[in-house]
Amino acid sequence: MTQARDFGFGEEQQMLKEASLRFMQDKQPLAHLRKHTAGTEDPYLGQARPGVYDAEAWAEMVQLGWTALAVPESAGGAGTNLVTAVGVMEEVGRAAMPTPLSSTLLATFVLRHAQAPAAQAALARIAQGSSAAIAIYNQYGELELDATEVTVSDGRLSGTSYFVQDLQKVDFLVVAAKQDNELGLYTVDVQADGVSCHADRIVDLTRDQGRVTFDAAAVECVAEPGQGGEALQQSLPALLTLVAADIAGGCEWLLQATADYAKVRVQFDRPIGFFQAVKHPIVNMMIAVDETRSLVYNAAGAYDTDPEDALRCAHLAKSSASDTAEFCANRATQLHGGIGFTWEMDVQVYHKRQMHSQQLFGDGVWQRQQLAELI
């Protein structure tokens, strides 16, 4: 199937993207982050870090309908496509904004492919402003979609899910669990009886991560045993594309911040941007960002209009994004010199976020391994 012109990115998507940019600029998320993470900067020796985010900004996002963006109209949402959601996610990444919106969008696309009646109820909760995250990993972080160690029996979960993103920010989880070795999907509130959340100590200041232990926790089934794997597989292109969009936005900020710095930092009586050793890496950053963004919107367009090719395009996008995340973060820190990794600079915040994003759902090497199997 032929994709729509410009991947389906039109005037409506552009207006929403610009509105998202203005919203992020107005909220100044990094100023809020610095205020509420003082003393927790070191993940090993610092204080335990709470799941920091601007609750007032989140409430405004709900009022603006961003949580309902990808929720189908049948569940009370806007029913927009992935290209539209990608535009918002790119701006979240550009601002490095700590927010449950990112994880909620991921959970939304998983629930869109779940078939049980409870999936519609979960989507309706998201449309009304509840936040959610997916819990699908085992203790080894294996990327196979059926690698969970959680089991379900008589509608109750047992076991532990690991590497759950934004665990301290969300209201409920979409959990992958097995019954008689058949994978299903289930929703459970993080505050429910039998649910214990444990925060990990991670370098990324803009996110939190943790593990969740279930002790006979009562759940709602959103994808019956045997259907959960299919739901995750169908949603995987959207998950990869959304994370890649976040990376693209963050790398755009690193590019612009580094170019601006190269114009004002003077060495040998000249701005350092005059020297080829500086200008060439900045140009390479620009090329990498443009490549990643093009692949991201191509993947989003494929998911919306050409589902048979969506997974291949999504692996391409995440492969490029993971490599671009590392390249741009490293070059930005290097070209800012000795101050690039200091706490006073925002570059180090973005660097840590990009390194975290690089690994989510697999780095570039893993993505290319999956691509090789598709060819």
Q: Is the pLDDT of residue 114 over 70?
A: yes
- Distance between CA atoms of residues 300 and 254, nearest Å: 23
Asked whether residue 364 falls in the same domain as residue 296, the answer is yes
pLDDT in tens, 10-27: 889 999 999 999 999 999
Average pLDDT rounded to a whole number, residues 329-342: 91
| Domain harbouring 138, CATH code | 2.40.110.10
Looking at 172, 196, 225, which one is the last position of a domain?
225
Residue 214 C-alpha from the chain's centroid:
24
How is residue 137 annotated by DSSP?
B
Among candidates 266, 268, 158, which has minimal Cα distance to 218? Answer: 158
Task: Give the pLDDT score at 245.
Answer: 98
- Distance between CA atoms of residues 172 and 261, nearest Å: 42
Q: Can you give the length of the chain in residues?
A: 375
Average pLDDT rounded to a whole number, residues 247-265: 95
Asked whether residue 357 falls in the same domain as residue 237, the answer is yes
Looking at 164, 192, 225, which one is the last position of a domain?
225
Residue 58 C-alpha from the chain's centroid:
16
Query: 3-7, 115-119, 217-221, 235-239: which range is least confident on average?
Result: 3-7
Range of the domain at 239: 229-374
Query: 5-9, 30-34, 333-337: which range is least confident on average?
Result: 5-9
Asked whether residue 46 falls in the same domain as residue 119, the answer is yes
Task: Give the pLDDT score at 1.
Answer: 58
What is the pLDDT of the chain when averaged over all its residues? Answer: 94
Task: Give the pLDDT score at 67.
Answer: 93
Q: Is the pLDDT of residue 230 over 90?
A: yes
Query: 113-117, 124-128, 356-360: which range is least confident on average?
Result: 113-117
Asked whether residue 360 falls in the same domain as residue 270, the answer is yes
Average pLDDT rounded to a whole number, residues 22-40: 90
Q: How many CA atoms lie within 13 A of 14 on its CB side?
A: 6
Asked whether residue 280 falls in the same domain as residue 360, the answer is yes
Average pLDDT rounded to a whole number, residues 188-194: 97
Asked whether residue 184 falls in the same domain as residue 249, the answer is no
Asked whether residue 93 falls in the same domain as residue 158, the answer is no
pLDDT grade for 38, boundaries at 50, 70 and 90 = confident
Looking at 225, 240, 261, which one is the last position of a domain?
225
Name the percent of the chain lying above pLDDT 70.
99
| Domain harbouring 25, CATH code | 1.10.540.10
Asked whether residue 297 falls in the same domain as residue 259, the answer is yes
9 against 54, higher pLDDT: 54
Asked whether residue 142 falls in the same domain as residue 270, the answer is no
DSSP code per residue over 255-312: HHHHHHHHHH-EETTEEGGGSHHHHHHHHHHHHHHHHHHHHHHHHHHHHHH-HHHHHH
Asked whether residue 155 falls in the same domain as residue 112, the answer is no
CB atoms within 10 A of CB 72: 18
Asked whether residue 243 falls in the same domain as residue 367, the answer is yes
Q: Is the pLDDT of residue 3 over 80?
A: no
Question: What is the torsional sign of CA 369, 370, 373, 374?
Answer: negative
| Domain harbouring 241, CATH code | 1.20.140.10
pLDDT in tens, 74-112: 999 999 999 999 999 999 999 999 999 999 999 999 999
Residues whose CB is less than 8 angstroms from the CB of residue 85 and which lie 6 or more positions away in sequence, other chains included: 69, 70, 105, 242, 300
Looking at the 3D structure of the chain, how many domains does it have? 3
Query: 10-14, 182-186, 284-288, 311-315: which range is least confident on average?
Result: 10-14
Task: Give the pLDDT score at 342.
Answer: 86
Phi and psi at residue 275, to the nearest 5°: -85, 140
One-letter identity of residue 77 = G
DSSP code per residue over 43-101: TTTSPPPP----HHHHHHHHHHTSTTTTS-GGGTS----HHHHHHHHHHHHHHT---TH
Given a contact cutoff of 8 angstroms between Cβ atoms, the answer to whether 258 and 102 are in contact is no
Asked whether residue 370 falls in the same domain as residue 235, the answer is yes
